[in-house]
Structure 1
């Protein structure tokens, strides 16, 4: 269910960028702005700036920028609606829902909300069970045995399900929960031989809540502590309206900030692996929870980093069985490293055995590029067997072929050829064959003839060459910057700067898509009787526009106020002559466009038949004259020959 526009506006009016950011980093005043080390990447010198006057943030290191809502979206990894809810809760703003007209949509929304409430009731119930006699003697004893301290138990909201058929069911019913919701949440089961009679799904087990990105419990994993061959070691919540295991990674809520700050995500297999690594001081870790890695889980990681380090137990058979996960990570555009623990060890056991310092040192020093890892893995089997060696090479090349970036592919191909002591051309031929095969399979085209030139088998790269992206002109950016920052200023008694600027560029079509979009929205606002300032564009739900606008209004450097007040040193400001600044910038843009037009005409002259050359030369001369006139007006003594 959508949040009303009134609630969104109340949030925008009430939130303060300094208060919001201060919840995550410590800001220090320097000049008119506040500064800190960026929470989105590692740095030693602060380049993260917050402007209380403009209510924006901007990192001059990694480029992250936006308003308070965008900051919450970035730092929490959540969407716009979730960010509004987060801030509304922080500021005590009542959330007004927009009721959808579709009855089915209303029912679906209400059901999801009920599931969240029921699951979080269960999570609290399981946590409180650790305080019971049974919970302390069994559940808490198990956690202590694994070295889990009270802080880590609370951090992951670990709990215990009592060894009873219906303790959760009874307590939930007393609290007003309907049986139907408990059933849909996967908390209870229906007796096979006795319909309408139910019992708890989780009984006599320690419980690991699974959280979504905003920290709500959406499912549970539960481990039995007794030796009972009739029961599985772990049981998990079923799929529900709010839990799809292929979309979730265990520990992502606790890890997201660490992943972003370290710019790396450690990927392990189980719940206890994640928790043990947190105990070792490593928080940027998530688990696939024993399931095969999925495309949506990879996309979830990519929201926070492009770097993944996969941690493997020291078991060759298990590693080979899970190699498909590496290929999927590569195909998803992630940079992959691997760490293999000694035989018989996993991240949980090795962390407990080696201690915090040694464990950290081990995973840092043992991290290998996936190419080195894969070659070493197959080398032992293929040492004296040419057939197996050839198959090992194909396996390595198959992984390289998954990488979408052609430059990265090329670098890995060269490195692999060196490591395998073989000619690079042979490896490239096999790489081309595999890429072509994949392309033909995806496009439904099959051919026995394999073209040999590399560019023939990289259709994506050719498409980029044939359709190069529009050149970003700094003059376009500068004009949009002036328009956003000063368009509302008056340059005469009857004219605003925006009217003057738009008249100067009325015949121009911007080539940079984002600047053209801003220009169109600016004109649209004027037609609606709005004289827009920069904050008008921060309310638009277009991330590209918001990023561009913040980049243009954020100030990287400030002139000290002491220069004028104390030292009587006066500096020229662009606001001293806005009309002149705007006019000169528009001339530079026109000059840039004319230069581009002239180059295009020169290209046509080279390929044109003799009958058309004279006309094209005339056009070239006229463009040159116009450009020279503009350049001379700008004070360029020697007109450009290009």
Structure 2
């Protein structure tokens, strides 16, 4: 189903790149742009760059780039129409589409269909909680006993499943949803023999949302005593739900986490809901599962500070602590807090209130290393062998911390706590850190070398200028060039210069070198009819030429809005600058020339290098023809051609200041 063009334009104009990305990542301002750790790959040093002026993003680590629509497509793993609908919903834009039946919606996209049917189930459970006698007397009564207010029930979209075998299945059938889709979404269970029934029956329902707020799964708690039924029942793994990658409450908490710059991590659904209702909204839960590396990285999108709230016994806490070294390894600042008199976060906040709860955490939350050391020392007592084991385990934890300054601080504090020599701890850690660094060491991907923009004179010798028109380069067929481009790991020198040429044209094409002579006019005149070897650059050059003939200079904005994703991706890479000039230079009145100041030299140099590479290519081809020639006259003609290109090559080398040609 097609979305009207005017609606697409309205969505694109309304979607702000900072606003959209901030829903998923905590951005920090740097100069005119914003930076963050990339959400698409694991990194500890920010290389994800967002430009509000151009409404684009680019990661210099993994290469991901695009506009707000592309970001939603990549982060949510959805298609172009679904991303547009997502942004339309975010900005309150009505998408006037033809009304489809449920069956047609299902056929449109299976992954999107899972979201549709899960949203239907959420609405069904929520409505049953609020409007039926069973839901109100059992489910709503339970929530009110827990102290949940009506607006809290609405905020978390809580529900209740009827105590019947197939109530949801029957209602879904009336709406046109197929049983096989319900099974894929984890809503029903199909047994051998054809028996099918609802997964959740007679339980209060906790919908689980992803970061963008879409329901992806459910947690359900039984309220009656039944030894044959588990107390909590969760959705199985599906195409849209992977429990190791999800934190309960992250959608409701993400803005508060970013604002307060700290995340409280609990174990259960009710802990999150009670704290949220009390005004402590920067809280999420691991939903009873062991904390995973994916969940840690999800938190790190919004803050580097985590306080883990434990409500278990000493044995349970010790078991959990041994799995938390990976939090340190990700560079997060981790603290731990427990509660008195057997309380959990839910019961304690209801007992003392939000203000006292915060005060308690500020006084009783310990850094992870000190907390772990204290817990383990209690068990060891005066036993020297157990104490030695504990020291080794603590050193291993500290060695996981990537920041050397933080490691040093923890060694000083731990040495006092353990009453051992600090240097002993450091020496043992050095050995561990060295081994750790060797394991983590990975070869860095090759990157194209930036072209050297040498300065040159403002005019070009005739024999150099004529090389492209007198001896046009015969390029390989497009299909061959595509294969060559994909198979090669490093771009050729010619591809680098082609890229530099397009970069200059789209960034500075409208800039005047002299009155009435723009960069675009000058470079296109010098290129003549030359075709580029790299397909995408050749296609972009063709569009620039077409625009120039129509008296239009097609710069970066043209390609950033282009429907061709290859053009858009290349343009983003060519306009995004990773490093910005420090304002301190201007503060101290130190003038640093910009690229615009050297633009004439840059354009001249690029044209020279392109022509030099063309001359070198022609010489290689002529030498091969000479070696195969049998006619002396043909050999003489080829030799004259070769000498011409050799002369051109030497002249360009002189202009570029290259000593060795």
TM-score range, shorter chain: 0.5 to 0.7
Call closer, same or farther: CA 1:578–1:247 in 2, change over 3 Å: closer
Which of 268, 271, 274 pairs up with 1:270? 268
Name the structure 2 match of 1:13: 9
Distance 2:424 2:570 in 1: 43
Count of paired positions: 510
User: Which residues in structure 2 correspond to 1:479-498 (within 5 Å)?
Assistant: 486-492=508-514, 495-497=517-519
Distance 1:409 1:544 in 2: 41
Name the structure 2 match of 1:87: 87
Name the structure 1 match of 2:216: 218
Distance 1:122 1:110 in 2: 18
Distance 1:416 1:472 in 2: 51
Call closer, same or farther: CA 1:13–1:475 in 2, change over 3 Å: farther
SS in 2 for 1:250: coil
Call closer, same or farther: CA 1:480–1:278 in 2, change over 3 Å: farther
SS in 2 for 1:228: coil
Name the structure 2 match of 1:123: 122
Name the structure 2 match of 1:582: 599
**For the Cα contact (< 8 Å) 1:159–1:206, is it kept in 2?**
yes
How far 1:355 moved relative to its partner?
0.7
SS in 2 for 1:213: coil
TM-score when scaled to structure 1?
0.65
User: Which residues in structure 2 correspond to 1:182-331 (within 5 Å)?
Assistant: 182-190=182-190, 195-313=193-311, 315-331=313-329
How far 1:93 moved relative to its partner?
4.7
**For the Cα contact (< 8 Å) 2:503–2:574, is it kept in 1?**
no
Distance 2:576 2:365 in 1: 38
**For the Cα contact (< 8 Å) 2:16–2:68, is it kept in 1?**
no
How far 1:376 moved relative to its partner?
1.9
**For the Cα contact (< 8 Å) 2:56–2:68, is it kept in 1?**
no
SS in 2 for 1:183: helix
C-alpha distance after superposition, 1:17-72 (max 9, x if no partner): 567589899xxxxxxxxxx9x994699xx9999x99956499xxxxxxx9861797
**For the Cα contact (< 8 Å) 2:66–2:569, is it kept in 1?**
no
Does the alignment pair 1:373 with 2:390?
Answer: no
**For the Cα contact (< 8 Å) 1:69–1:80, is it kept in 2?**
no
**For the Cα contact (< 8 Å) 1:274–1:287, is it kept in 2?**
yes
Call closer, same or farther: CA 1:207–1:480 in 2, change over 3 Å: same
How far 1:488 moved relative to its partner?
1.9
User: Which residues in structure 2 correspond to 1:185-584 (within 5 Å)?
Assistant: 185-190=185-190, 195-313=193-311, 315-406=313-404, 408-435=406-433, 439=436, 486-492=508-514, 495-497=517-519, 525-526=540-541, 528-529=543-544, 531-536=553-558, 538=560, 546=572, 549=575, 582=599
C-alpha distance after superposition, 1:484-511 (max 9, x if no partner): 654323333663235769999xxxxxxx
Name the structure 2 match of 1:137: 137
C-alpha distance after superposition, 1:409-443 (max 9, x if no partner): 44433443344333233112322343456x5xxxx
Distance 2:28 2:55 in 1: 21
Q: CA RMSD in A?
A: 5.3
Distance 1:578 1:23 in 2: 31
Distance 1:473 1:417 in 2: 53
How far 1:349 moved relative to its partner?
1.2
Distance 2:453 2:309 in 1: 45
Name the structure 1 match of 2:636: none
Call closer, same or farther: CA 1:110–1:431 in 2, change over 3 Å: same
Distance 1:134 1:301 in 2: 38
**For the Cα contact (< 8 Å) 2:399–2:407, is it kept in 1?**
yes
Q: Structure 1 residues 182-191 or 232-241, which shifts more?
A: 182-191
**For the Cα contact (< 8 Å) 1:40–1:261, is it kept in 2?**
no
C-alpha distance after superposition, 1:328-376 (max 9, x if no partner): 2223333322222224111111111111211122223333221122122
Distance 1:499 1:419 in 2: 72
Structure number, greater radius of gyration:
2
SS in 2 for 1:141: helix
Call closer, same or farther: CA 1:180–1:55 in 2, change over 3 Å: same
Call closer, same or farther: CA 1:265–1:72 in 2, change over 3 Å: farther
Distance 1:187 1:459 in 2: 43
TM-score when scaled to structure 2?
0.63
Name the structure 2 match of 1:622: none
Distance 1:244 1:469 in 2: 37
C-alpha distance after superposition, 1:146-190 (max 9, x if no partner): 111111111111000112222212211222222222223222224
Distance 2:407 2:536 in 1: 40
How far 1:550 moved relative to its partner?
6.2
SS in 2 for 1:208: strand
**For the Cα contact (< 8 Å) 1:280–1:360, is it kept in 2?**
no
Name the structure 2 match of 1:636: none
Q: Structure 1 residues 533-542 or 339-348, which shifts more?
A: 533-542
Call closer, same or farther: CA 1:579–1:399 in 2, change over 3 Å: closer
C-alpha distance after superposition, 1:76-120 (max 9, x if no partner): 964685644422555445789xxxxxxxxx999843333222222
Distance 1:172 1:367 in 2: 48
Consecutive unaligned residues of structure 2, counting only runs of 5 or more, are 36-49, 58-64, 99-104, 456-500, 527-533, 546-552, 584-591, 605-656
**For the Cα contact (< 8 Å) 1:222–1:234, is it kept in 2?**
yes
Call closer, same or farther: CA 1:273–1:538 in 2, change over 3 Å: farther
Distance 1:460 1:503 in 2: 51
Consecutive unaligned residues of structure 1, counting only runs of 5 or more, are 26-35, 59-65, 97-105, 440-456, 505-518, 558-573, 588-625, 627-642
Name the structure 2 match of 1:173: 173
**For the Cα contact (< 8 Å) 2:544–2:554, is it kept in 1?**
no
